[in-house]
Chains A and B, each alone.
Chain A
């Protein structure tokens, strides 16, 4: 078995069942597109929008809460199916994940049946065979799990593949979608899903920079104040009549400059980062209050509201979150500087001996963090018609929590930005879910605290097991 796993390029045979997940995913997509309200161009709306609007907004008057689960499951199943073909050894794990997709689809029909009223009965006939075919595909997706398959090598067991923090959070998210969706279908309305994703996009973007800082063994508790300050700079420039590209560029530059100052004090003056950023927290917040006098920024010109744009029907904050997360993840995995972040955080002495200048890396990571905070504050500044001078209280705590829950260890040296972005979404999903299941949002912070604690305990347990 050990021999097998050390031969990565060994040609592998594919049995027919290797194609099952991909075929099912394909069928799902086809039937989904065949649904009657997908092909109604007279509504003049993009496909996904019509499909997932809540009751009354779509032509058929049908309740489509939760229908968004179907494209989500289809997309997931297609990705896993492709993965399956590229590397047949993961077949067993993929079959389990595909079954999870089937579960999501069946969930939609449960929601539909629960919320189904007599007046809708007349519309069911108009749905066509595709509507029920999707249910059949969903059930098949669950059943294919029980196909006979040879056991896969230990390294490719499900527990190994999804045992990392990123997968656990992703599974947690799916579990929440299903559980909260069943108890209140409106949670799964497309508008709410979109709000959940957008609402914390700027947190996720800021958490990318924060994760890098934490990976090097430092911390930045001044981000909340910095986001507030940069957002006001952004807005005021636009109001004062500067070109809009300049208004968007300024937060990045100022953010990088502030980051450089913090990095210089930490790396070259040897003041611990928690102390420097504690001081900066006060300084930035004070400057913000003196400068603005507490007045919020309004009357931004047309075209300023980057976060309200929707290229290809998907809101801009989501684009930013996804693209920046992927770029940062690739950069951290494959670039020299990206790797050295882990080296400095994991073992500073070894990093020094291998020729990495610890000071320079720390300086650079704070500058990069400043740029990501700049991106976050553009999204924050352009989301509404007014810019509040005080950022949401405890913003830095939310950002740090995203990083920590996402698997970035303060002990340094581990974690990825994919985890932190997923965690940022998870935190906002929890907040939204609490509203839908009638839990007072006052408990949100308590949940957040428990989540951090659970993550850290799991991390410690994992580390201990690795040592044993």
Chain B
């Protein structure tokens, strides 16, 4: 990582190594990374089952769905928007997949493509209403949070679909080169998204929209087109994550992904994206996703009961933001 462009260039002397180091450490990602290292070290001293390759790879498998959805969510939050409907798109995709295969008689590969298309279209609908009609993202996706979940429940009438052929489970339960298959997908998605965000016009435009949407429009940026794209992309990634989830847990139910939006938003915000827009990065988001998963896993291994770990996660979320606000405030002053 290079020093951010904010390093004062007007000073006569070159920034020293210590300056650069300080910049990295006090950046959003830096602070978070240090918190993560401390948490990992602490958890590792409490139980020897935590810091093993097997356990970590398995945690990688579990965090993939949240990670996949967190990527477009980072884009959206950078623009100052939000997408609350991801969990419902996730569930809708799962149900459509199951019903298309079992009740509508589609071949399974066709059903998978169809389901992902439906999810992508669901995201497109969000984007279309937000961009063309001007519905605030929070409200639009709140409405579709209820609508898409309702469709999933209505279509399935609460029934579940199971009994998929063996090859279907490859992606969710199999391994490739010793690493869980879906983790490769996440890796590819993260690398592409990271490059998109930091090295392309798309990325710069998203930051511009988040900082000042009106100014971005007056600068001749295709704001509408980019916004439509990221919400559609969010639908696509949620659908993909839904498919992977079905493949991992071997069954389809309409309540799948309930509350996913909260996990994803928590991870993205923890990763340093401001809900007001304009800041955030893919590395930060990934640290957020990993930190939450490791905390959940490490705490349950050290004997904290499953659901109680969410107290820690909630506290870490608020605490990390407080610390970051404090440090960034000091830096700005």
Chain A residues engaging chain B, CB cutoff 8 angstroms: 219, 221, 265, 269-272, 274-276, 278-283, 285-287, 289-290, 393-394, 397, 400-401, 404, 410-411, 440, 442-450, 452-453, 456-457, 460
Question: In the complex, which residues of chain B have a beta carbon less than 8 angstroms from the beta carbon of A456?
Answer: 135, 139-140, 143
Stretch at the interface among B183-191, B198-206, B234-242, B318-326: B318-326
Contact across chains for A289 and B308 when beta carbons are under 8 A apart: yes
Number of A-B contacts (CB under 8 A): 141
Pick from B133, B156, B307, B317: contact of A278, CB under 8 Å = B317
Question: In the complex, which residues of chain B have a beta carbon less than 8 angstroms from the beta carbon of A272?
Answer: 274-276
Question: In the complex, which residues of chain B have a beta carbon less than 8 angstroms from the beta carbon of A221?
Answer: 262
Most chain A C-beta atoms within 10 Å of own C-beta, residue among B149, B275, B310: B310
Residues facing A in B303-333 (CB within 8 A) are 305, 307-315, 317-318, 321-322, 325
CB-nearest residue of chain B to A443? B154
Contact across chains for A449 and B146 when beta carbons are under 8 A apart: yes
Question: In the complex, which residues of chain A have a beta carbon less than 8 angstroms from the beta carbon of B82?
Answer: 274
Contact across chains for A401 and B146 when beta carbons are under 8 A apart: yes
Most chain B C-beta atoms within 10 Å of own C-beta, residue among A265, A410, A445: A445
Q: How far, in angstroms, from A312 to B82 measured CA to CA in the complex?
A: 48
Question: In the complex, which residues of chain A have a beta carbon less than 8 angstroms from the beta carbon of B308?
Answer: 286, 289-290
Pick from A219, A286, A411, A440: contact of B154, CB under 8 Å = A440
Contact across chains for B150 and A449 when beta carbons are under 8 A apart: yes
Question: In the complex, which residues of chain A have a beta carbon less than 8 angstroms from the beta carbon of B136?
Answer: 410-411
Most chain B C-beta atoms within 10 Å of own C-beta, residue among A285, A287, A452: A452
Q: What total of chain B residues lie within 8 Å of the partner, measured CB to CB? A: 48
CB-nearest residue of chain A to B304? A290
Contact across chains for B154 and A265 when beta carbons are under 8 A apart: no
Contact across chains for B321 and A457 when beta carbons are under 8 A apart: no
CB-nearest residue of chain B to A405? B143
Question: In the complex, which residues of chain B have a beta carbon less than 8 angstroms from the beta carbon of A452?
Answer: 139, 142-143, 146
Question: In the complex, which residues of chain A have a beta carbon less than 8 angstroms from the beta carbon of B266?
Answer: 278-279, 282
Given known A410-B136, A452-B146, contact A442–B307 (CB-CB < 8 A): no
CB-nearest residue of chain A to B144? A449
> B258 at the A/B interface (Cβ < 8 Å)?
yes
Q: How far, in angstroms, from A433 to B71 measured CA to CA in the complex?
A: 41
Contact across chains for B146 and A446 when beta carbons are under 8 A apart: yes
Question: In the complex, which residues of chain A have a beta carbon less than 8 angstroms from the beta carbon of B275?
Answer: 272, 274-275
Question: In the complex, which residues of chain A have a beta carbon less than 8 angstroms from the beta carbon of B146?
Answer: 397, 401, 445-446, 448-449, 452
Q: How far, in angstroms, from A283 to B113 measured CA to CA in the complex?
A: 39
> B4 at the A/B interface (Cβ < 8 Å)?
no
Say how far B267's CB is from chain A's closest CB, in angstroms: 11
11 contacts between A and B (CB under 8 A): A219-B138, A221-B262, A279-B314, A280-B318, A282-B313, A411-B136, A440-B157, A442-B154, A445-B147, A446-B149, A456-B140
Question: In the complex, which residues of chain B have a beta carbon less than 8 angstroms from the beta carbon of A289?
Answer: 305, 307-308
Given known A272-B275, A452-B143, contact A278–B311 (CB-CB < 8 A): no
Contact across chains for B317 and A442 when beta carbons are under 8 A apart: no
Q: How far, in angstroms, from A289 to B311 measured CA to CA in the complex?
A: 10
Q: How far, in angstroms, from A269 to B324 measured CA to CA in the complex?
A: 11
> B269 at the A/B interface (Cβ < 8 Å)?
yes
Question: In the complex, which residues of chain A have a beta carbon less than 8 angstroms from the beta carbon of B158?
Answer: 442
Interface of B is mostly: helix
Question: In the complex, which residues of chain A have a beta carbon less than 8 angstroms from the beta carbon of B138?
Answer: 219, 274, 410
CB-nearest residue of chain A to B136? A410
Contact across chains for B318 and A271 when beta carbons are under 8 A apart: yes
Question: In the complex, which residues of chain A have a beta carbon less than 8 angstroms from the beta carbon of B258?
Answer: 393-394
Pick from B135, B143, B310: contact of A449, CB under 8 Å = B143
Most chain A C-beta atoms within 10 Å of own C-beta, residue among B266, B276, B317: B317
CB-nearest residue of chain B to A283? B314
Question: In the complex, which residues of chain A have a beta carbon less than 8 angstroms from the beta carbon of B143?
Answer: 449-450, 452-453, 456
Q: How far, in angstroms, from A341 to B234 measured CA to CA in the complex?
A: 34
> B134 at the A/B interface (Cβ < 8 Å)?
yes
Say how far A278's CB is from chain B's closest CB, in angstroms: 6
> B148 at the A/B interface (Cβ < 8 Å)?
yes
Q: How far, in angstroms, from A275 to B142 measured CA to CA in the complex?
A: 16
Most chain B C-beta atoms within 10 Å of own C-beta, residue among A285, A286, A393: A286
Contact across chains for B310 and A445 when beta carbons are under 8 A apart: no
Say how far A375's CB is from chain B's closest CB, in angstroms: 24
Q: How far, in angstroms, from A401 to B145 measured CA to CA in the complex?
A: 11
Contact across chains for B307 and A457 when beta carbons are under 8 A apart: no
Q: How far, in angstroms, from A287 to B311 measured CA to CA in the complex?
A: 7
Question: In the complex, which residues of chain B have a beta carbon less than 8 angstroms from the beta carbon of A447?
Answer: 150
Pick from B147, B153, B318, B322: contact of A453, CB under 8 Å = B147
Question: In the complex, which residues of chain B have a beta carbon less than 8 angstroms from the beta carbon of A276?
Answer: 318
Pick from A271, A280, A442, A450: contact of B322, CB under 8 Å = A271
Contact across chains for B317 and A449 when beta carbons are under 8 A apart: no
> B44 at the A/B interface (Cβ < 8 Å)?
no
> B265 at the A/B interface (Cβ < 8 Å)?
yes
> B31 at the A/B interface (Cβ < 8 Å)?
no
Contact across chains for B310 and A282 when beta carbons are under 8 A apart: yes
Given known A452-B146, A456-B135, contact A446–B311 (CB-CB < 8 A): no
Say how far A313's CB is from chain B's closest CB, in angstroms: 35
Contact across chains for A271 and B325 when beta carbons are under 8 A apart: yes
Say how far B150's CB is from chain A's closest CB, in angstroms: 3
Contact across chains for B139 and A282 when beta carbons are under 8 A apart: no
Say how far B292's CB is from chain A's closest CB, in angstroms: 10
Contact across chains for A275 and B317 when beta carbons are under 8 A apart: yes
Q: How far, in angstroms, from A54 to B309 measured CA to CA in the complex?
A: 50
Q: How far, in angstroms, from A198 to B328 measured CA to CA in the complex?
A: 49
Contact across chains for A404 and B322 when beta carbons are under 8 A apart: no
Question: In the complex, which residues of chain B have a beta carbon less than 8 angstroms from the beta carbon of A457?
Answer: 133, 135
Contact across chains for A286 and B149 when beta carbons are under 8 A apart: no
Contact across chains for A400 and B142 when beta carbons are under 8 A apart: yes
CB-nearest residue of chain B to A221? B262
Question: In the complex, which residues of chain A have a beta carbon less than 8 angstroms from the beta carbon of B254?
Answer: 442
Most chain B C-beta atoms within 10 Å of own C-beta, residue among A281, A443, A456: A456
Contact across chains for B140 and A290 when beta carbons are under 8 A apart: no
Q: How far, in angstroms, from A290 to B154 measured CA to CA in the complex?
A: 34
Q: A272-B275, A453-B143 are in contact. List 10 more A-B contacts (CB 8 A).
A: A275-B269, A280-B318, A286-B308, A286-B309, A445-B153, A447-B150, A449-B144, A453-B129, A456-B139, A460-B135
